[in-house]
Structure 1
Amino acid sequence: MARIVVLGGTGYAGRHIVAEAVARGHAVIAVSRSEPTDPVAGAAYVQRSVLDGESVAATFDGADAVVWALSPRGDMADKVLGALKGVATSLTGTETRLGVIGGAGGSLVAPGGPRLFDQGFPEEYKAEAQVGIDSLAFLQSTDAGLDWFFVHPAEEFGPWAEGERTGHYRDGGDVIVRDAEGKSWISGADFAVAMVDEIEQGDHHRGRFTVGY
């Protein structure tokens, strides 16, 4: 059993990860600014802001993994990257892994590139995608004392494309995953399966990977 802290544990991706981890018997702490409207039975909930670095870092004691499931939206649009850097600093030199959820924009469309972001990416999503790209660049620049992994979800991922839990997904390395019809998507539940698999199996250390069907 692992001890897992999910930052942004009441959001879309975060709640799915909390639910999957609890279902597998892990001890899970979900950290968020708001109270959960639909709490996962068996998870512990803590109300704190990632902008309060010391307070959030206190939840990391004894954690095997900390999952960053926060989106750069609303009043957090310009604050997410700075907060991520603070969390990374807290975990550097420890045995706790940091798992970060990025966006599809930084995925490559073919081995060696280019990125999806550079291929007619929708203008309205570019600012959010750029934060994910900058977050990955930051992690790649960190000291070897930080054990991190970064996950790009498929192009269609969110409450508007909920889907079901199948227990299956494909790991595309750094290339976006598409099905036989060219569609790139994954349900929230199966994305969570991939995240918890990585926490349990540790196949990607200081690297990224993409997931989809």
Structure 2
Amino acid sequence: MTRITVLGGTGYTGSNILREAVARGHEVTSISRTLPADQIDGVTYRTGDALDADTLAHVADGADVVVHSLAPRGPLTDTFQDVVLAAAAATAQAGARFGIIGGAGSLHVVEGGPLLVDGPEFPEAFRAEAQTMVGVLDALRDSAEDLDWFMVSPAAGYGSYAPGERTGSYRVGGDVLLTDDDGTSFISGEDFAIAVVDEIERPAHRRTRFTVAY
């Protein structure tokens, strides 16, 4: 059993991770600004604001792994990288592992090619968020060696607007966007959560980013 804390556990990605981790018998805690109306059985819910220094300082209390699943929007638009690095530092100090959910925009279209976010077809509404995540990834790569971190970037078609179905399978890639034979890049919410919990149970990516898709 692993003690897992999810920062942002009430969002689409965070709640899927909570559900998957609890189903596998892990001890799971969610931290969010407000408590959800529908709570997942077996999850311990804590309230805390990611903009609050005390919340971040204690984010890893009692945890073996902290998963940051917040997005760089709303109140976090201008402070996202600072929040991530503060949570990561507290996690390292606690001797725990730090995971973060990235976006597809920071992936390369092809090996050695441009980033997805820099392409003309990338949605303008999400460009700033993706660029922020590029900066976060660079900062994590430049972090001290005592920070045991990993980032998981989903497929391009991932999101609450297209939840998909659970298949129990996925492919793993590195820094290049994964697509199927038809050029589609997709993974369901539940299968993405499976990949995240698989990484927690069987660490294979230390201080690096990986991506998952069908």
TM-score range, shorter chain: over 0.9
Q: Percent of aligned positions with the same letter in both sequences?
A: 49
The answer (yes or no) to whether the contact 1:105–1:116 under 8 Å persists in 2 is: yes
2:29 alignment counterpart? 29
The answer (yes or no) to whether the contact 2:56–2:86 under 8 Å persists in 1 is: no
1:147 alignment counterpart? 148
The answer (yes or no) to whether the contact 2:103–2:133 under 8 Å persists in 1 is: yes
2:60 alignment counterpart? 60
Aligned: 1:111 with 2:102: no
AA in 2 matched with 1:61 = D
Secondary structure at the aligned position of 1:157 is classed as: coil
The answer (yes or no) to whether the contact 1:3–1:27 under 8 Å persists in 2 is: yes
How far 1:75 moved relative to its partner?
A: 2.1
Secondary structure at the aligned position of 2:86 is classed as: helix
Superposed, 1:129-140 pairs within 5 Å as 129-140=130-141
Within 2, Cα distance between the matches of 1:56 and 1:42? 23
How far 1:76 moved relative to its partner?
A: 2.0
How far 1:93 moved relative to its partner?
A: 4.4
The answer (yes or no) to whether the contact 2:164–2:187 under 8 Å persists in 1 is: yes
AA in 2 matched with 1:38 = D
The answer (yes or no) to whether the contact 1:6–1:14 under 8 Å persists in 2 is: yes
Secondary structure at the aligned position of 2:99 is classed as: strand
Q: Deviations over 1:138-185 (max 9, x none)?
A: 101100010000111110111110011111111111111111111101
Within 2, Cα distance between the matches of 1:111 and 1:95? 34
Give the gaps of 5 or more residues in structure 2. Answer: none
The answer (yes or no) to whether the contact 1:65–1:199 under 8 Å persists in 2 is: yes
2:180 alignment counterpart? 179
Secondary structure at the aligned position of 1:60 is classed as: coil
Within 2, Cα distance between the matches of 1:85 and 1:56? 10
The answer (yes or no) to whether the contact 2:20–2:194 under 8 Å persists in 1 is: yes
Within 1, Cα distance between the matches of 2:198 and 2:112? 26
Q: Which segment drifts farther, 117-126 or 142-151?
A: 117-126
Q: Which segment drifts farther, 191-200 or 118-127?
A: 118-127
Count of residue pairs the alignment pairs up: 213
Within 2, Cα distance between the matches of 1:153 and 1:136? 14
Q: What do you get for the CA RMSD once the two structures are aligned? A: 1.2
TM-score by length of 1: 0.96
1:2 alignment counterpart? 2
Superposed, 1:85-124 pairs within 5 Å as 85-120=85-120, 121-124=122-125
TM-score by length of 2: 0.95
The runs of at least 4 consecutive aligned structure 1 residues that moved more than 4 Å come to none
Q: Deviations over 1:7-45 (max 9, x none)?
A: 000001000000000000000000000111221110000
